[in-house]
Structure 1
């Protein structure tokens, strides 16, 4: 409860805190994305500090890029997330690339 600097969180734990929101994929639905066509493309972590058991962390996300590939068959959504401690210390930067498969009419 009081924090314990000898217990670092696992490296991919920070990805999980984004999923703790009541509706972690609401941003995709707000963009009109059919969730049946979503794939997890990539995940990247850049660590600045170690997070420990008991830390209060905040994750702030922004969609920074949307690109189409294969003639519009795929959209790649890039989301960057900054993770900080309650005291404002910068803990990590996360990048997630989500792949959306689009229905493309046959030529």
Structure 2
């Protein structure tokens, strides 16, 4: 699964590999910093190996959810949540660009 946050001049992408590892790409104005780690996934809930990656915090727990974009049309997004599954205020929304999880 791959997700991406587009922040105009900056962006963040996470490539979740099928072997339980990820590549975290934090970019700004054409320069990328890459970070590597592991994750666990249980249905729509992802637990990362660390809470802080580069200059971004609250990455320990993530959840994939449908978001209504237009009336009747939804798309998948990845959200930062706390250990109870509550959305973290003012966190980024990561659009799911590739979802190859087993159904």
State the TM-score bracket (shorter-chain normalisation).
Answer: under 0.3
TM-score (norm 1): 0.27
Greater helix share, structure number: 1
Which structure has the greater CA radius of gyration?
Answer: 1
Greater strand share, structure number: 2
